[in-house]
Amino acid sequence: MLDNFNRFVIPNLGLFMDGLTITVRICAIAFAMAVVMGAIACLIRLYVPVLRYFAIAYIEFSRATPIIVQLLWVNYVWPELFGFPKSVEWAGIIALAIQSSGYLAETFRSGIEGLARGQVEAGLAVGMTRAVAFRRIVAPQAVLVMAPSIINQFAVVVKASTLVSIIAIPDLMYDALKVVNQWFEPIEVLTSVAVLYILTIFALSATAKRVADHFRGKYGLDAQA
Amino acid sequence: MNNAVAEQKPILECRDLRKAFGAFEVLRSISFEMQAGVVLSVIGASGSGKSTLLRCLNYLEQPSSGVVFLDGEPIGLRRQADGGLKPDSPANIARMRAQIGMVFQQFNLWPHMSALENVIEAPRQVKGLKRAEAIEIGRHYLGKVNLLDKADAYPARLSGGQQQRVAIARALAMQPKVMLFDEATSALDPELTGEVLDVMRALAEEGTTMVVVTHEMRFARDVSDRVMFLHQGVIEEDGAPAQVFGNPASERCRAFLSSVAH
């Protein structure tokens, strides 16, 4: 066991780190895009008359299709239809972003709708326009309430990203499978890779949770957490 | 207080105000005028339309028909050159609302802002005051509600009574022409209503123009200049507290007053 570990994991640590770098990069970009896209979809769904039906369709579509279908679709169909993405990495990023944006849009919506109506009314009553009330009252509180779900969604992206290896993006999972297929010794390699994923997700959620807890504590909201 | 200003034009006027939710008519032709400096208490059973009336006064609720005038200016509607009225822009509605303070039953303080931040938010965001200027005003009004020492506390760390007093300071900080109170003490534990009523009484004595929807009959009788009894969306009784409480013309008002047994 230790022997196999020394033979297949240690020499490939450099390779795994390269893979992990790609995983983190893909996830970070995809998630950032998902937040923006999700926020836009959510705002349109909530506040823009007619267009909201397109937003609903987009949200339902993105949540109802398996990530692997979206990956293959964006990677093989989009270049034919739209002439992009030009690289598999961007295809992976876009597919992950599309799926996550759907979930985030719904998270944002529940955060906004869950806010007591009186919060906005208090803003309107002192003479705020709806836009100011949204920016100063709704958005900051919604983010605070939604923080745990948003963090969770990032972990989902990291986990879903293991599938991008099927369109030949050399992420951590891809590198692990490469080594496994070379030597047919999966136990140590896959276990080590699993640990790397766990550590990545754990480090991330722990940091995010600390930030969220800080603000909850500051506003005296810890009881609601 | 009444008589001194009786000849002025009204600060607030309702003209044939109606409000229906679907087929249900909550307000049916409400008309009244109110002078500056007057404290008007609106009483009535639950569902009589008092809160809806208050919410129509600052256009949080859009009237089905009729007009509310603040200082002669229609709210939510704009005068056309031909004298007609058409719906006003959101920015203008907001501008009118900025001149009307409102205190809610549930306080509705913003939990992510400290007491002082709650109070200076509107002067900063709506009036565009500089931070230092807004803080000066904010501290003045927090002092007025005896909460200067809680300026940096977040709402979750304040008692209900303290939260409601911050909410009053927040409304006052815009230096409104009229203050509306929507059952400001109904959500409070009985032992906390006193501190809020004291603040409201002090404001009344300073000559603040107030419309107070309340279940506190003692407040209505002792502090207001005028009491209005609403029943099923109609003004059933409207007069000085001594008359409304002592010798109401309306049988329903009489029944209501005896049922609340103050």
pLDDT of A123-140, one tens digit each?
Answer: 999 999 999 999 999 999
Q: Could you tell me how far CA A128 lies from the centroid of its own chain?
A: 33
Q: Could you tell me if A130 lies within 8 Å of chain B, comparing CB atoms?
A: yes
Nearest CB to B111: which of A124, A128, A219? A219
Band of pLDDT at residue A224, cut at 50, 70 and 90: very low
Q: Does residue B19 contact residue B57 with C-beta atoms inside 8 Å?
A: no
Contact B155 A220 (CB under 8 A): yes
Would you say the C-alpha torsion A69, A73, A74, A75 has a positive or negative sign? positive
Q: Hey, which residues does B34 pair with through a beta bridge?
A: B12
Chain A residues with CB-CB distance to B179 below 8 A: none
Distance from CA of A41 to the nearest CA of B (A): 24
Interface residue of B56, B62, B121 to substitute, partner A, most A CBs within 10 Å: B121
- Is B249 strand, coil or helix? coil
Spatial distance between the Cα atoms of B99 and B102, rounded to a whole number of angstroms: 10
Distance from CA of B122 to the nearest CA of A (A): 6
Measured CA distances, B208 to A206, A214, B1 (Å)? 52, 41, 11
> Residue A9: which of A162, A200, A187 has the closest Cα?
A187
Please determine, for residue A117, whether its predicted confidence score (pLDDT) is greater than 90.
Answer: no
DSSP calls for B79-102: E-TTS-EEEPPHHHHHHHHTTEEE
Chain B residues with CB-CB distance to A132 below 8 A: 125-126
Contact B171 A125 (CB under 8 A): yes
Measured CA distances, B113 to A59, B70, B121, B165 (Å)? 33, 30, 9, 15
Contact B110 A122 (CB under 8 A): yes
DSSP, res A167: G
Whose tokens are 């990032």? That residue is A154
Q: Could you tell me if A122 lies within 8 Å of chain B, comparing CB atoms?
A: yes
Q: Does residue B155 contact residue B118 with C-beta atoms inside 8 Å?
A: yes
Chain A residues with CB-CB distance to B154 below 8 A: 218-220
Please determine, for residue A225, whether its predicted confidence score (pLDDT) is greater than 50.
Answer: no
DSSP, res A91: H
In one letter, which amino acid is A92? G
Contact B157 A136 (CB under 8 A): no
Band of pLDDT at residue A116, cut at 50, 70 and 90: confident
Q: Chain A residue with minimal CA distance to B106? A: A118
Tokens encoding B259: 């049922």
Q: Could you tell me if B95 lies within 8 Å of chain A, comparing CB atoms?
A: yes
Write out chain B's pLDDT in tens, 262 residues: 455 545 678 999 999 999 999 999 999 999 999 999 999 999 999 889 999 999 999 999 999 999 999 999 999 888 888 877 788 899 999 999 999 999 999 999 999 999 999 999 999 999 999 999 999 999 999 999 999 999 999 999 999 999 999 999 999 999 999 999 999 999 999 999 999 999 999 999 999 999 999 999 999 999 999 999 999 999 999 999 999 999 999 999 999 999 886 5
Half-sphere exposure at residue B7, Cβ-oriented, CA atoms within 13 angstroms: 1
Please determine, for residue A33, whether its predicted confidence score (pLDDT) is greater than 90.
Answer: yes
Residues 6+ apart with CB under 8 A from B150: B115, B142, B158, B162, B166
Spatial distance between the Cα atoms of A91 and A33, rounded to a whole number of angstroms: 13
Contact A128 B94 (CB under 8 A): yes
Spatial distance between the Cα atoms of B61 and A78, rounded to a whole number of angstroms: 48
Spatial distance between the Cα atoms of A1 and A41, rounded to a whole number of angstroms: 50
Contact B156 A132 (CB under 8 A): no
Measured CA distances, B236 to A59, B65, B229 (Å)? 52, 20, 6
* H or E element, residue B228: strand B226-231
In one letter, which amino acid is B252? R
Residues 6+ apart with CB under 8 A from B135: B116, B120
Contact A141 B111 (CB under 8 A): yes
Q: Could you tell me if B120 lies within 8 Å of chain A, comparing CB atoms?
A: no
Please determine, for residue A221, whether its predicted confidence score (pLDDT) is greater than 80.
Answer: no
Tokens encoding A73: 């679709």
Which 207-246 residues of chain B touch chain A by CB within 8 A? none
Nearest CB to A125: which of B102, B154, B157? B102
Spatial distance between the Cα atoms of B256 and B44, rounded to a whole number of angstroms: 7
Backbone angles phi, psi at B158, to 5 degrees: -110, 150
Q: Does residue B180 contact residue B101 with C-beta atoms inside 8 Å?
A: yes
Distance from CA of B235 to the nearest CA of A (A): 25
Which 146-205 residues of chain B touch chain A by CB within 8 A? 154-157, 167, 170-171, 174
Can you give the pLDDT at residue A148?
82
Share of chain A above pLDDT 70, in %: 97
Spatial distance between the Cα atoms of B107 and A118, rounded to a whole number of angstroms: 8
- Is B220 strand, coil or helix? helix
In one letter, which amino acid is B121? E
Q: Does residue A88 contact residue A168 with C-beta atoms inside 8 Å?
A: yes
Interface residue of B75, B117, B125 to substitute, partner A, most A CBs within 10 Å: B125
> Residue A98: which of A165, A172, A40 has the closest Cα?
A40
Contact B171 A126 (CB under 8 A): yes
Contact B122 A130 (CB under 8 A): no
To 5 degrees, how large is the angle CA B252–CA B253–CA B259? Answer: 90
Nearest CB to A128: which of B109, B125, B167? B125
Chain A residues with CB-CB distance to B170 below 8 A: 122, 126
Contact A219 B154 (CB under 8 A): yes
Q: Does residue A193 contact residue A176 with C-beta atoms inside 8 Å?
A: yes
Average model confidence (pLDDT) across chain A = 90
pLDDT digit string (tens) for A176-207?
999 999 888 888 889 999 999 999 889 888 88
To 5 degrees, how large is the angle CA B213–CA B217–CA B223? Answer: 80
Enumerate domains of chain A plus CATH numbers.
2-219 (1.10.3720.10)
Count residue pairs from A and B with Cβ separation < 8 A: 78
